[in-house]
Every structure is written in structure tokens, then in C-alpha cells.
Amino acid sequence: MINKKPASPEALKLKMADLCARSEQCEYDIREKLRRKMLPIADIDRIICFLIENRFIDDERYAKSFTNDKMRFAGWGRNKIKQALSFKRIPSEIISEALQEIDSKEYNKTLFKAATTKARNLDLEEYDDRAKLYRFLISRGYESSLAVQAIAAIRRLNKEE
């Protein structure tokens, strides 16, 4: 086994700056990466301050980007996004602001797409299958009322066909 010398705080600062320049990162994620490198708290705080001052880290920018990506590409609802951002220690004011920027038409379209994809394998005239679709939508983070509306809309469309 090769004995690797622990990285210096200066080298880690440059490495974290490079990481932040390539992809959006939040303070919590960077702090955890540095903590796993067994760096003293004082050094971690100095590196984080440097990254924030030089705008490598911006939790507000991160929250907006995360919200947009998870809603568009992963098909997540507001509740799941809010929970994920909370786990990353993003302040609730920033989370609320990021969630307010979600376009409601696009959000509903994403919800309907997820619901119709799952409903293909279900018979929505059966209570158990409607409940299964409802649980699926709730697990994706969609609001209860919107899940019920989507299921009702899909049932109407199926009856028209």
C-alpha cells in the first residue's frame, strides 16, 4: 500500500475551487469533503470563506440550479426538492425563493408526464392501482392535491379514448 501524504490546506483550497468552477456546489458538500480529508476546523473555515468570497460557492445560486435540474431532469416535485435542499443545510428562505421560481406550467407538465408514464402499466379504474399511482407521485415529491388532480385527468383521458 502506498503511503500518501495528506494534502495541504492550500492544495485542497485549489482543488475545491476547481471543483466549484466545474460544477455548482453548496457549502455543506464542500465542508463535508474537507472534513473527510481530516482537515482541522480552522482550515476548513478559511477555505470555505475563500470560496464564498470569490463566489465559487453561492448557496442561493446552488439552490436555484438544483431545483431546476431536479424538476426538469429527475422529475422531482417541490416536496422532494425542499427535503433534499434541507439535508444540504440550505437556509429555508433560500429554499423558498428557489421553489418560487419554478414555472407552474412546466411543473404541471413534468407531473403529468411522470403520472402518465407510470399509469401505462396500471388500470386506473381499480382503486389499488390509483392508490399505487398516488403513492408513486407522492414519493416523487408532488403535492397531494396535484397528484389527485393528475390521476383524475388521466382517468378522464382514458375514458375519452
Q: Are residues 63 and 49 in the same domain?
A: no
Most distant CA pair in the chain: distance in Å? 69
Residue 36 and residue 15 in contact, taking contact as beta carbons nearer than 8 Å: no
How far out from the chain centre does Cα 132 lie?
24
Q: Are residues 66 and 79 in the same domain?
A: yes
Q: Tell me if 4 is assigned to some domain.
A: no
Residue recorded with cell 379504474: 125
Q: What is the DSSP letter of 145?
A: H
Q: Tell me if 147 is assigned to some domain.
A: yes
pTM, rounded to two decimals: 0.88
Q: Are residues 110 and 153 in the same domain?
A: yes
Q: Are residues 154 and 115 in the same domain?
A: yes
Residue 61 and residue 24 in contact, taking contact as beta carbons nearer than 8 Å: yes
Q: Are residues 76 and 45 in the same domain?
A: no
d(CA 136, CA 27): 31
- Domain extent at residue 38: 9-53
Per-residue pLDDT of the chain (161 residues), as tens digits, is 454 556 788 999 999 999 999 999 999 999 999 999 988 999 999 999 999 999 999 999 999 999 999 999 999 999 999 999 999 999 999 999 999 999 999 999 999 999 999 999 899 999 999 999 999 999 999 999 999 999 999 999 887 76
Burial class (CB in 10 A: 0-12, 13-18, 19+), 109: exposed
Q: Are residues 109 and 155 in the same domain?
A: yes
- For residue 58, the one-letter residue type is D
